[in-house]
Amino acid sequence: MELYFMGTNAGVPSLQRNVTSLALRMLDERRSFWLFDCGEGTQHQVLRSPLRLSKLEKVFITHLHGDHLFGLPGLLSSRANQGGDTPLTVYGPKGLKAFIDLTLGISESRINYELIVKEHEGGVLFEDDTFQVESALLEHRIDSYGYRIIEKDRPGKLDFESLKKHGVKPGPLYGQLKRGENIVTEQGTVVRSCDVLGKPKKGRIVTILGDTRPCRAAVELARNADMLVHEATFLHELQKTAYEYHHSTAVQAAEEAKAAGAHEMFMTHFSSRYKDEEQLAPLLEEARAIFPNAKLAVEHVLYPISKYPDKS
């Protein structure tokens, strides 16, 4: 899994940064990627990225403010023209379906793939054999949600020396053992998967929050996360402004990461008043004084997501 930011600015785009959009690339895990928010111009950012819209599997919208949403109709239309013919599911707050239906309908956009829109109010949104996605309401001017992506534990590695001793040859039986099934060899020997599998590989946890003031839900979604993405719109000297506009400062983001026991945090959604890396540097300094593993999100960089040891 890797993070790829395509928009890190708050409110409006600037010459340096686009408005909010973030991809979770999972080529090894699912041969696809998931998109979180889709601000205006996101499809242009995709063209500059290693991503392909034909590989887009799911879109998660945190809230319905334009800087997180206005790029969605264009991106959905472009996906149809770029080889995307597999089903696509879009998750988001109530009102999302009306927005999509209206914009695609009035523009007579042709979508030649199955488009599924799931409005939600939090809870478990998706689960299969490899991932689970949970959501909770944050504290913003309108309903804004955070998402917790949980990668399920994966089977350990097969002990090939042990398999050789048992007379198990490479083939379908390997797959059965990897799935935790016991097998019987041609010689009639029962081989238990637990005897030839190493320890399971612990899955990673990624938490991606929408716009929010500091709140309990943000901390719970980020509990023991390997990677947390948290907005940090302002320096802490503007905490009153942040509160009035229902946003967070870099200090507040760091405090929540620390309280949650998260391992690594990327800050994003920066105010346009901070023009470049030099002006963003004080935000990083403030955050690292509280949470040393804080980083500034930079657009068009792939960030691998590591599995950290459990702190509990």
CB 269 within 8 A of CB 240: no
User: Does residue 67 have a known ligand-binding role?
Assistant: yes
CB 302 within 8 A of CB 5: no
Q: Is 28 a catalytic residue?
A: no
Q: Is residue 114 scored above 60 in pLDDT?
A: yes
Q: Which of 32-41, 99-108, 186-195, 215-224 has the lowest mean pLDDT?
A: 186-195
Q: Phi/psi at 6 (nearest 5 deg)? A: -115, 5
The band of 178, judged by pLDDT with boundaries at 50, 70 and 90, is confident
User: Does residue 211 have a known ligand-binding role?
Assistant: yes
* The pair of three-digit structure tokens given for residue 202, joined into one six-digit string: 């612990």
Place of tokens 């959604």: 269
Closest residue by Cα to residue 147 from 70, 249, 61 = 61
User: Does residue 269 have a known ligand-binding role?
Assistant: yes
Q: Choose, from 67, 143, 153, 159, the residue flagged as catalytic.
A: 67
pLDDT, position 311: 60
Of 154 and 66, the one with more pLDDT = 66
* The pair of three-digit structure tokens given for residue 42, joined into one six-digit string: 């996101």
**% the chain with pLDDT above 90:** 80
pLDDT, position 160: 84
The band of 312, judged by pLDDT with boundaries at 50, 70 and 90, is low
User: Does residue 166 have a known ligand-binding role?
Assistant: no
Q: Is residue 234 scored above 80 in pLDDT?
A: yes
- Stretch (H or E) spanning 160: helix 160-165
Per-residue pLDDT reduced to its tens digit, 35-67? 999 999 999 999 999 999 999 999 999 999 999
Q: Is residue 181 scored above 90 in pLDDT?
A: no
Average pLDDT over residues 23-35: 96
Per-residue pLDDT reduced to its tens digit, 238-272? 999 999 999 999 999 999 999 999 999 999 999 99
CB 217 within 8 A of CB 136: yes
**% the chain with pLDDT above 70:** 99
Average pLDDT over residues 226-243: 98
Average pLDDT over residues 279-308: 97
* The pair of three-digit structure tokens given for residue 19, joined into one six-digit string: 């408005």
Q: Which domains does the chain have, with CATH numbers?
A: 2-154+201-304 (3.60.15.10), 160-196 (no CATH)
pLDDT, position 198: 80
